[in-house]
Amino acid sequence: MHELNYEAPTSLDQAISVLAAAGENGRMLAGGTDLIIQMRAGVRQPGQVIDAKKIPELQALSFDAQTGLQLGAARACCEIIADATVQQHYPGLAEAAALIGSDQILARASVGGNVCNGSPAADTTPALIALGAVCQIAGPNGTREVAVEDFVTAPGQTVLAPNELLVAFRIPAPQGSADCYQRFIPRNEMDIAVVGVGSCVALDDDTCTAARIGLGAVAARPLLAKEAGDSLIGKTLDDAAIDAAAQLAQQAASPISDMRGTAEFRTHLVGVLTRRTLKEAAARARAR
Ligand SMILES: Cc1cc2nc3c(=O)[nH]c(=O)nc-3n(C[C@H](O)[C@H](O)[C@H](O)COP(=O)(O)OP(=O)(O)OC[C@H]3O[C@@H](n4cnc5c(N)ncnc54)[C@H](O)[C@@H]3O)c2cc1C
């Protein structure tokens, strides 16, 4: 039988020490809604599991109008989506987090776990990319920051070294901006995104001053469709500008065909969801 040690550190320093001592054998555990399933299936077999839920920095959920949202990596999705500040300032992030599984899953699952699991189809990753969120990483050699779009490197793989953990996301304060996340699944709930798109736009007198579009499930890792977002800057977000951005987003995608959808269908969906999320994000920004 596979032997497993479990530790639940109550400080970041303790967690880093346990992780460093475990080396390749260690694995952080947040909600366990991915990890425990993977361990049962024999996909991952860590000898040391380190519970993230009791570390104060990983439970952060605080908003400042200048610096934005500090979101601890292990904070449960159910608390994030119920938070009035998140609902008001980051509705797209709330939309993405609310899609994860059922009420039971949401009570355990974290946004940090969603991103660290490294799935190209994770729902919160494109929403965070759209918001320009940054991952705060800690390890024995100190701390570093990595943009969310650079964090996942391949399916199931991230920039984290075995002795590092994700502490929190730093999400910029909205400056005349608003976000939106939508995905397509072939049924109403409890399914993995065939395509997911997060958009965030900033408006000044109806002129777009900034735009970011995150794409999920259309490449080996979640993507920032940079050219698509940049194409909107300086423009009024009318149908022509939005259609042009949607076409650029389609060009940024390199989907595969599988049982969930063909590459052609996924490319079509990127166009549809980019248009819809840009329009909704712009409407929200105008209403602010
Ligand atoms: C029924 C069901 C439905 C689901 N539906 C969806 C869905 O609709 N959309 C979706 O995107 N996902 C879905 N998921 C997947 C899963 O629930 C999410 O990915 C969830 O957000 C994972 O978070 P967690 O806290 O449970 O992570 P865990 O399972 O605890 O961890 C996931 C991975 O991240 C690592 N990790 C966790 N925290 C850290 C950290 N702080 N630092 C370093 N590494 C860390 C772990 O070691 C592990 O490899 C579903 C899962 C189930 C079982």
74 and 33 assigned to the same domain: no
Are 27 and 61 within one domain? no
- Please state whether the predicted TM-score (pTM) of the whole model is above 0.95: yes
Which residue range forms the structural domain that includes residue 40?
Answer: 5-51
Which DSSP string do the residues of 193-240 spell out, in sequence order?
A: -SEEEEEEEEEETTEEEEEEEEEESSSSS-EE-HHHHHTTTTSB--HH
Q: How far apart are CA 64 and CA 172, in angstroms?
A: 9
Probe residue for ligand 1, chosen from 115, 116, 144 as the CB with the greatest number of ligand atoms within 8 Å: 116
CATH code, domain carrying 162? 3.30.465.10
Instruction: Identify the three-state secondary structure at position 87.
Output: helix
Please state the rounded mean pLDDT for residues 3-16: 96
Q: What is the pLDDT of residue 2?
A: 74
Domains contained in the chain, number: 3
What is the residue with the minimal CA distance to atom 32 of ligand 1? Answer: 113
Q: Looking at residue 1, what is its pLDDT?
A: 58
d(CA 250, CA 268): 8
DSSP lists the bridge partners of residue 223 as 215
Same domain, 74 and 152: yes
Residue nearest to atom 18 of ligand 1 (CA): 114
Q: What is the mean pLDDT of residues 38-49?
A: 95
CA–centroid distance, 219 to ligand 1, in Å, is: 19
Distance 91 CA to ligand 1 centre (A): 21
Residue nearest atom 13 in ligand 1 by C-alpha distance: 100
Residue finishing a domain among 121, 141, 171: 171
Are residue 181 and residue 252 in the same domain, yes or no? yes
Distance 27 CA to ligand 1 centre (A): 13
The owner of tokens 């423009």 is 235
Per residue in 60-93, pLDDT (tens digit) is 999 999 999 999 999 999 999 999 999 999 999 9
Lowest mean pLDDT among 156-160, 191-195, 241-245: 191-195
